[in-house]
Amino acid sequence: MAGEAFLTPVPGLELAFDRADGWFCRAVVRTVTTARSACVDEQVAAMLVRLFGPEAPGVVRGAVMSPGRVPPGTGVLTPDPGLAETLSSLACLDAVRATSPVLTCSPWWAVEIAELAERAGLPALASAQRGSRLAIPPTAPALNVAAEVESLKKHQAHPSGLQWTLGCGAVREGSFRFGLSPYSDLVVRQRGQRQIAVEALVAPGADCGVLSAYQVRATDPEIRRILDQASFAVVGSLARTELRPAFPLDEVPESWIEVVRSSKCPVGTLKELRGRRAQRWADAALRAERAPAGLDPEATPEDWDELAVAAWELCSFDWAAAGNADRAYLALTRRAAMLRADIPPAPSRTAAEITRRVPLAGPAYLAETRG
């Protein structure tokens, strides 16, 4: 429901972990194959042995040469619990950093990544992060959790109408400063049926050339039609633009504001937009569950809980609208757990199995707790 967090511990090996519970999902190994053999890079083989045991490289080579068949004498590879947990923390930390209100230039991200990399036996990554600790600390974000909750309550009371998303992965890291939820990533003001003002907070030091290339669109995702689009104009710490749709918005079943990297990007389908925003809601809910004091020192535990509950509910709503019943259910189970409410029957065996998994211990995220 929250998507995957990725990590490349050594070149040629990509690991994926579930962002919601930290569990290992899959590994992608780059191999060099011929008609008679499959070769695994020495660094990759060493990492596979550390993570899965001495038989892992042979299992990979066998899988490449005989797709769909399990080589005789081998079973399912199970990752080492301790190493997998540390690698998962590294991957999830990187995913959290990408949409955190605390900018990626904060030295506290590097401190924590270096510590986890050292624990995972990745000296090159640890050394690289220690070298980046001299980054200039960003100004503290001015956030208000209680106000965010009130805004979301109003949004929940009017679920139809104009929708928007800045997007997970749709913009380059370090371009914009994200809010506490997708609702506040962008400030959207509708004036009548044919005028929309859109604002986003610019990250300090962001490349103005990159920002000017972004396109803000009003779209009709049902038929993948652009109603209007314009570039951002940077004024101080804000990126602003105004859209004037070609059709009155009340004539469109569901209109969306989306930010894309260039005018050549295809219009997102309703399923894509809802799914993308659902992952961002999950990201916001997971952050609220951790109640990072550095983001809003005035927020109470109850404020953070309310934000998490609202974000999980909206996450479930978007996944349901995207046609993914399993992910919608998983988001509702997180909401129900926080409210100590009864959990309804799972829509599938897969969803039921995932709800039984115990989440791994997450990293401290020093950048968000210290501000």
Side chain identity, residue 67: P
Cα angle value 299/23/287 (rounded, 5°): 10
Q: What percent of the chain has pLDDT over 70?
A: 92
Regarding predicted confidence, which is higher, 371 or 120? 120
Contact between 241 and 231 under an 8 Å Cβ cutoff? The reply is yes
pLDDT higher than 80, residue 98: yes
| pTM for this predicted structure | 0.91
The pLDDT, as a whole number, for residue 152 is 92
Q: Tokens 């509708």 appear where? A: 190
- Span 216-268, pLDDT tens digits: 999 999 999 999 999 999 988 999 999 999 888 888 889 999 999 888 889 99
- Sorted by where each starts, the structural domains of the chain and their CATH numbers stand as 4-80 (no CATH), 145-272 (2.60.40)
pLDDT higher than 60, residue 95: yes
pLDDT higher than 60, residue 134: no
Q: What is the mean pLDDT of the chain?
A: 89
The pLDDT, as a whole number, for residue 171 is 83
Burial of 226 (0-12, 13-18, 19+ CB in 10 A): middle
Categorize the per-residue pLDDT at 142 as very low, low, confident or very high, splitting at 50, 70 and 90.
confident
Specify the range with the lowest mean pLDDT, choosing from 136-140, 243-247, 317-321, 327-331: 136-140
- CB neighbours of 154 closer than 8 A, spacing ≥ 6? none
Alpha helices per DSSP H over the chain: 42-52, 56-65, 81-98, 107-119, 123-131, 145-157, 182-185, 208-213, 270-290, 301-321, 325-339, 349-355, 366-370
Residue 366 to residues 30, 69, 181, 369: CA-CA distances in angstroms?
33, 45, 20, 5
pLDDT higher than 90, residue 160: no
The pLDDT, as a whole number, for residue 104 is 80
The pLDDT, as a whole number, for residue 199 is 96
